[in-house]
Structure 1
C-alpha cells in the first residue's frame, strides 16, 4: 500500500504549496516527471489489477498471428498494441507501459489545462490512476485519448477532438458512445461536427458497436452482471456534478469550459438514473468511467470558486476527501487484494510472456 500512498502524497504536497496565482509553467517540469512516474507504475507493475491476466492470455492465444488477426480479435487499436508486444519479445509490461504512457499523457494534458493542476492530479490518484489505469487496461488507454478529446472540445479544436475520439474508440468501443454527448454539449460549430464526426460515428457504430455487442455493454446487460460498489463510484461523479450545476456561476471559466462542465455534469446525473433502471450495474459502471474527469474539473476548481477567505483550507479539504477515498477503497473494497500489495516485475520476466 505504501507505493500508492507515496503516489498520492507527491501531488498533494505540491497542491498545498502551489498558490492560486502561480503560473503553470513554473511547475511543468515536476509535473511531467510525475506523469512519467505514473506511466512507469502502470507499466512495470506485476500481477496488480483486476484484468491482469486478460492481456497475456489473449496474446498467448494469438501467438504468431498477423496484425489483422490481433486487430480483429479485440478493439483494433488495442489489438495493434498487443501485436506489437507479441513481436517485440518483451513480457506484458511492454504493453502496459505503452498504454500507461498514453493514459498518463492524456491525464497530464487535462490537468495542466486546469487552474490548479496539482490539485486536479491529486483528485485523480485514488480512483482514476490507482483503480482504473491499473485495473481496466483497454479502457484506461481509451480514457487517455478521451481526455485529449475533452481538451479539443473545450478549446474548440475540431481536428484534435475527432482524432482523439477515433483513437479512443479504437482502444475501447464504449468510448464511441460519448461522441453524441460531446457534440450536443460543445461550442464547436455543429455543422462541422455533423459533417466530420457523423460519418465516423456511423461507421464506427456499425463495425464496432454492432459487431462487438456480445463482448461490450450489451453483453453485460443481457447477462445482468453486477459490480460491487458501482453505486459509490457513480455517486463520486454525481457529487461534483451537483456542485457544478447548482453553483456554476461561482466558477470563473471560459464559455467553452462552462458548456463542457454542464454537459458532463448532466451525463453524470444520467448515469445515476441508468444505474437504477439498468439490469446490469456493470454496464453502467463501465460507461461511467468516462465521466471521472469531471471530478478533477470540479473538485480541482473548488477552492477558487468558494475559497476567497479560506483557499488553502479548501485545498486541504479536497486532499483529505481524496485520501479517505483511496484508503477506504484499498482497505475495504471487495477486490482490493488484486491491487494490494503493489509489486514490480523481476528482471527474469523482462522477456517472454508469462503470468
Structure 2
C-alpha cells in the first residue's frame, strides 16, 4: 500500500506549500502549456500507470485484446468496436512491447489530459492530489480503455470552457474511439452555447449523430442489456456517485465565488446538476452499473470544485493552508477506505512494476 500513499503524498505536499496560480492570459484564461516540472509529472505518471504489473481488477481481461491483435493489422480496425484501443494493441504487438506497451501508450494519453486539465485550475497541484486516490489509482490503473477516453474528454472539457465547441466534439469523439460511452457527453456542449447558437448547435448535433452511428449504434442494444436489462449491481456505485454529488452540492452553494469565466461556470453548473441527478437516480432505479460507468466522466468536477474552494471560502489569492489541508485529509480518507475496505482493492495491492 505504501506506493499509493507516496503517489498521493508528493502532490499533496506541493499543494500545501503552493500559492494559487493567479496569472491569466489576455483572454482571462490560465495558460495551459506545461513547464519542465509538469513535463516531469507527465513522465512520472506515465511510468507509474503504464509500467504497473498485475495491478487492476481487469488485468487479465485486457490480454484478450493483445492476443487477438497478433493476427490483426491496422486495416482491420474498421470492423472493431473501440478501434483506438485495438490500434494500441496492434502497435504494441508489432513493436514487441506486450501489455506494458499498451498500458504505457494509454497512460501517456490519460496523463496528458489530466495534466492539461489540472493546469487550467488555480491550484493545479491540489487538483492533481485530489485526482490521485481514485481517478489515477482506481480508474487509470484499473479501467484502461475508459481512462484513456476520460483523459481525452478532459482536454475536451478545457476546450469547452473556452467555448471551442468543435474542438470539444473532436476530443470527445477521439475518446470514444477507446470507449464508446464517451459519446454521451457530446450533447452537453449544446447546453453551454451562448452565441452563434444555430451554427454551433447544428455542429454539435451532427457530431453527436455521427458519433452515435459510427461508434455506438451497433452495440447500443448490447450495452442496454448489460447495464439495464440484466439488473447488474455495481459494488460501490453509491459511494462513487456520492463522491461526485458532494462537490456538485458545494458548487451550487459556492460556485458564484469561483474564479471562472461565465462559460466555464455554466459548464460546471450543468455537470453539477447532472451529478446530483445521477446520485438521486441511484435510489429508485436498477441502473447502478450504468450510472457508475457514466459517473467516471463526471470525476473532473471534483478537481474543479476542490481546486477553487480554498479561494472561494478563504482569503482570495492566499495559500489558505487550513482549507487545503482539510481537502487533502478528505482525499486521504478516501484512499485509506478504498485500500482497506473496497471489495476489489485486493487486485491493486501490492503495487508492482514489471513488463509483460
Distance between the aligned counterparts of 1:187 and 1:137, measured in 2? 35
- Pick the aligned partner of 1:193 from 188, 200, 204: 200
With normalisation by structure 1, the TM-score equals: 0.92
- How has the CA–CA distance of structure 1 residues 180 and 27 changed in structure 2, closer, same or farther, with 3 Å as cutoff? closer
The answer to whether 1:125 aligns with 2:122 is no
The answer to whether 1:327 aligns with 2:336 is yes
Residue 91 of structure 1 and its aligned partner are, at CA, apart by: 1.2
Name which of structure 1's ranges 256-265 and 212-221 shifts more when overlaid on structure 2: 212-221
Report how many aligned residue pairs link the two structures. 347
Distance between the aligned counterparts of 1:27 and 1:68, measured in 2? 35
DSSP-derived class of the 1:329 partner: helix
Residue 11 of structure 1 and its aligned partner are, at CA, apart by: 0.5
The answer to whether 1:262 aligns with 2:266 is no
Residue 307 of structure 1 and its aligned partner are, at CA, apart by: 1.2
The answer to whether 1:59 aligns with 2:59 is no
Distance between the aligned counterparts of 2:223 and 2:102, measured in 1? 21
Name which of structure 1's ranges 149-158 and 16-25 shifts more when overlaid on structure 2: 16-25
1:303 matched to which residue of 2? Answer: 310
The answer to whether 1:151 aligns with 2:158 is yes
Pairing 1:147-226 to 2, within 5 Å after superposition: 147-187=154-194, 189-226=196-233
2:17 matched to which residue of 1? Answer: 17
- Which consecutive unaligned segments of at least 5 residues does structure 1 have? 350-355
1:337 matched to which residue of 2? Answer: 346
Distance between the aligned counterparts of 1:245 and 1:190, measured in 2? 26
- How has the CA–CA distance of structure 1 residues 181 and 123 changed in structure 2, closer, same or farther, with 3 Å as cutoff? same
Distance between the aligned counterparts of 1:217 and 1:148, measured in 2? 28
Q: Is the 8 A contact 2:20 2:319 kept in 1?
A: no
Q: Is the 8 A contact 1:110 1:148 kept in 2?
A: yes
- Pick the aligned partner of 2:300 from 281, 293, 300: 293
- How has the CA–CA distance of structure 1 residues 212 and 243 changed in structure 2, closer, same or farther, with 3 Å as cutoff? same
Q: Is the 8 A contact 2:109 2:152 kept in 1?
A: yes
2:102 matched to which residue of 1? Answer: 95
Pairwise CA RMSD of aligned residues? 2.0
Residue 38 of structure 1 and its aligned partner are, at CA, apart by: 1.1
With normalisation by structure 2, the TM-score equals: 0.92
Name which of structure 1's ranges 205-214 and 43-52 shifts more when overlaid on structure 2: 205-214
Residue 250 of structure 1 and its aligned partner are, at CA, apart by: 2.0
Distance between the aligned counterparts of 1:22 and 1:179, measured in 2? 31
- How has the CA–CA distance of structure 1 residues 113 and 272 changed in structure 2, closer, same or farther, with 3 Å as cutoff? same
2:26 matched to which residue of 1? Answer: none
Distance between the aligned counterparts of 1:321 and 1:283, measured in 2? 26
Distance between the aligned counterparts of 1:179 and 1:186, measured in 2? 12
Distance between the aligned counterparts of 2:353 and 2:277, measured in 1? 39
Q: Is the 8 A contact 1:186 1:259 kept in 2?
A: no
